[in-house]
Amino acid sequence: MTAEKNGYFYFKKTLLFIKDNFAYIKETPSLLFNNPYLLALYEKIILWREKNIKHHHFILILSLFVGFSTAIAAILLKSALLFMKELVSDSMSGVNFLYLAAPATGIFLASLYVRKIVKDDISHGVTKILYAISRRKARIKRHNMWSSMVASTLTIGFGGSVGAEAPIVLTGSAIGSNLARFFKMDQKTLMMMIGCGASGAIGGIFNAPIAGVVFTLEVLMVDLTMTSIVPLLISSVTATATSFFFMGSKAMFHFSAVESFSLGRIPYLLLLGIVCGLIALYFTRAINRLESFFQRLKSPYIKITIGGITLSGLIFFLPALYGEGYDTIELLLSGNPDEVMQGSLFYQFKNNAWILFVYLGLTVLFKVVATSATNGAGGTGGIFAPSLFIGSITGYMVAIGLNYFDLGIPERNFAFAGMAGVMSAVMHAPLTGIFLIAELTGGYSLFMSLMITSTVAYLTIIVFEKHSIYSMRLAKKGELITHHKDKAVLTFLNTKDEIETDLVCVNPDTNLGEVVKIIASSNRNIYPVVNAEGLFLGILHLDEVRNIMFRTELYERFTVRRLMITPPAIIKHSDSMEKVMETFDKTNAWNLPVVDDEGMYIGYVSKSSLFNSYRQILLEQFSDD
């Protein structure tokens, strides 16, 4: 048996072993802790840590480990993507139809992996982090420490038109959350470690430590305090330093300023900012609508078929849509824009500026479709890279258009400013866009251009869209945590958890004499009126009975139906806490009934009880130690 065949034999045997024992392997962490010796050792470690290391010191140690671990994950993902791209490229050499089929193949493999092995939704990584902070007590499932990396490698390595940044951010946040849970940290620390993982992920994959911290504060974190900023800095710097050590410190896009900033260019940068904001609006709304279309499709194979055909067709006409798009950005920045059209039907007109302009315009228009087709069909990837891709082309096109009037606009500068503008508007994070592009290029001399474009782009999109592409899904459900502290606290409160069920219910046909006996044995002054089927009809208030409760001659004449009143408002059990508090404010009530969707009585919510819960959450989650 040759060495090659021997290696293939053992590789196949390993795959079969993993397949046969996957359920066992998946549960290995739980099985380890069923071992009494390991459990005893684990408990000793926890007790030793609590006794010998102060809490705030241990948070700094954890942030260091999170930063290093996240950087290793980012390096592994970068290396895996490079290996996969080279493998696919070598396999497709000289065979054009494979070039078109590769993205669909990657989507199929990623979808199969997620459905058969992970068996959980791992798409929309940043949205899942926001949901974990808002609704899962900052707990992210263990498989997210690796599952997104594998799925995104398959998707992007085969040419899927998405980015690897959101998957690595989810991976980093999962590492932070699970490491904190391992050491029995409280929920506040879990939230902080999620932020450390996210900042480390951005710092590690982009070599951009400042952007990592700013992204976490703008997009993920609830509030900025000195307690939170130091761990974020440690994680981001550690991740970036680790990435420098293994991957080198060269900027992703080498840049030397062609021209310094000029005051006379400000009007054109303002125009670019408005255009970027409108492009970001198109990007956001188109992504949501197209992904909603794919979500309505029940069969995964129909999704893969439609998505694969759509993506392959688009890549046939617009090859620049293949993969993340960073190669296209490099061509624009290197002064070879015509090479962007290579492999397309447009390439025969490569010396025609107007054909190039049309090609770039179509690329911007259909990049959104390609990204949605990739994710909607079952692939895994983020919108970091697509927003940078669209932004660079948008900036370049605006420069071309302005230079038609001989204005001498530096096209590369505008391409970078466009990247910052579109990203800032899509994510509603202008500081992230500014610092990320500055660090990606090493071109800090671009700061004024980036600041103007990003600010105007952000101001443009918020006129039309209140929330970012990441948060709008959660915002519609009232599950979004925000930088507004009052609203952020409310997201931690759940209406169902605040319902009081100890109130005594009365039947509408109960007479006054029986009501007096109920009042005598109760310490409440409100009595829900519910019929035999459990349908809520109204309330009986003690004030309505007080004047006649001692007139025994009325005991048989008066019934609850005659004495009951309608409450000022009724709360649905599915209402968000923000809506509940708005109802209390509008009605000035202190107690309101809660019913289900059919109007069946569930219980009561008390404003005083909500205030107590509010204060408790405020102290636990948002106080500065």
Return the SS3 of 227. Answer: helix
Predicted confidence at residue 490, as pLDDT, reads 57
Residue 286 CB neighbours (<10 A): 16
Over residues 303-308, mean pLDDT: 92
pLDDT tops 50 at residue 6: no
- Range 538-560 burial, b when 16+ CB lie within 10 A, else e: bbbbeebbeebbeeeeeeeebbb
Q: Choose among 402, 459, 435: nearest CA to 267.
A: 402
What φ, ψ does residue 383 adopt, rounded to 5°?
-110, 5
Contact call for residues 277 and 395 (beta carbons, < 8 A): no
Looking at the domain 263-478, which fold is it?
A: Clc chloride channel (1.10.3080)
User: Of residues 213 and 498, which shows the higher confidence score?
Assistant: 213
**pLDDT interval class at 1 (50, 70, 90):** very low
**pLDDT interval class at 4 (50, 70, 90):** very low
Predicted confidence at residue 473, as pLDDT, reads 65
Where do the domains of the chain lie?
1-28, 33-247, 263-478, 494-621
Contact call for residues 192 and 230 (beta carbons, < 8 A): no
Over residues 4-22, mean pLDDT: 50
Predicted confidence at residue 10, as pLDDT, reads 46
Predicted confidence at residue 493, as pLDDT, reads 63
The per-residue pLDDT for range 120-129, each reduced to its tens digit, is 888 777 878 8
Contact call for residues 215 and 426 (beta carbons, < 8 A): no
pLDDT tops 90 at residue 279: yes
pLDDT tops 80 at residue 296: yes
Alpha carbons 360 and 363: distance in angstroms, whole number: 5
Most confident residue range from 86-90, 308-312, 491-495 = 308-312
Residue 501 CB neighbours (<10 A): 10
pLDDT tops 70 at residue 13: no
First-to-last C-alpha distance (Å) of the chain:
66
Predicted confidence at residue 592, as pLDDT, reads 87
pLDDT tops 80 at residue 302: yes
The DSSP secondary-structure symbol of 504 reads P
Alpha carbons 529 and 518: distance in angstroms, whole number: 13
CATH code that applies to domain 494-621: 3.10.580.10
pLDDT tops 50 at residue 139: yes
What φ, ψ does residue 173 adopt, rounded to 5°?
-65, -40
Sequence letter at residue 59? I
pLDDT tops 70 at residue 489: no
- Beta partners for 535? 600
Predicted confidence at residue 470, as pLDDT, reads 81
The DSSP secondary-structure symbol of 465 reads -
Q: Name every residue whose Cβ is closer than 8 Å to that of residue 514 and which is 6 or more positions away in sequence.
A: none
Q: Choose among 383, 65, 386: nearest CA to 200.
A: 65
Predicted confidence at residue 212, as pLDDT, reads 92
DSSP-derived secondary structure for 254-277:
----SS---GGGHHHHHHHHHHHH
- Residues listed for the chain: 625
In this structure, the strands spanning 536-541 and 571-572 are unpaired
Q: Choose among 71, 73, 329, 382: nearest CA to 208.
A: 71
pLDDT tops 50 at residue 5: no
| Same-fold call for 33-247 versus 494-621 | no
Looking at the domain 33-247, which fold is it?
A: Clc chloride channel (1.10.3080)
Q: Choose among 561, 550, 548: nearest CA to 511.
A: 561
pLDDT tops 60 at residue 220: yes
The per-residue pLDDT for range 103-124, each reduced to its tens digit, is 888 999 999 999 888 888 887 7
pTM (predicted TM-score): 0.76
Q: How many C-alpha atoms does 287 have within 13 Å on its Cβ side?
A: 25
Share of the chain above pLDDT 90, in %: 31
DSSP-derived secondary structure for 120-142:
S---SHHHHHHHHHHHSTT---G
Alpha carbons 580 and 487: distance in angstroms, whole number: 12
The per-residue pLDDT for range 572-585, each reduced to its tens digit, is 887 877 788 888 88
Where is average pLDDT lowest: 68-82, 472-486, 522-536? Answer: 472-486
pLDDT tops 90 at residue 239: yes
Where is average pLDDT lowest: 359-363, 393-397, 471-475? Answer: 471-475
Q: Name every residue whose Cβ is closer than 8 Å to that of residue 235 and which is 6 or more positions away in sequence.
A: 63, 64, 66, 67, 70, 176, 196, 197, 199, 200, 203, 212
The DSSP secondary-structure symbol of 552 reads G
The per-residue pLDDT for range 586-611, each reduced to its tens digit, is 888 888 889 988 888 888 888 777 77
pLDDT tops 90 at residue 306: yes
CA distances from 410 to 310, 360, 495 (A): 35, 18, 55
What φ, ψ does residue 401 adopt, rounded to 5°?
-60, -40
CA distances from 15 to 11, 143, 155, 571 (A): 6, 19, 20, 54
Over residues 517-542, mean pLDDT: 85
The DSSP secondary-structure symbol of 347 reads G
Contact call for residues 373 and 310 (beta carbons, < 8 A): yes
Angle between helices 125-135 and 485-492 in degrees, nearest 10: 80
Contact call for residues 522 and 545 (beta carbons, < 8 A): no
Most confident residue range from 46-50, 80-84, 495-499 = 80-84
Predicted confidence at residue 450, as pLDDT, reads 93
**pLDDT interval class at 621 (50, 70, 90):** low
Pair of tokens at residue 615: 């204060």
**pLDDT interval class at 287 (50, 70, 90):** very high
The DSSP secondary-structure symbol of 117 reads I
Burial of 441 (0-12, 13-18, 19+ CB in 10 A): buried
> Widest CA span of the chain, in angstroms?
106
Predicted confidence at residue 3, as pLDDT, reads 41
Predicted confidence at residue 368, as pLDDT, reads 94
Alpha carbons 193 and 19: distance in angstroms, whole number: 33
pLDDT tops 90 at residue 280: yes
**pLDDT interval class at 91 (50, 70, 90):** low
| Rg of the chain in Å (alpha carbons) | 29
The per-residue pLDDT for range 413-469, each reduced to its tens digit, is 899 999 999 999 999 999 999 999 988 887 677 889 999 999 999 999 999 988 888
Predicted confidence at residue 252, as pLDDT, reads 67
Alpha carbons 280 and 288: distance in angstroms, whole number: 12
Predicted confidence at residue 488, as pLDDT, reads 57
Average pLDDT over the chain, rounded to an integer: 82
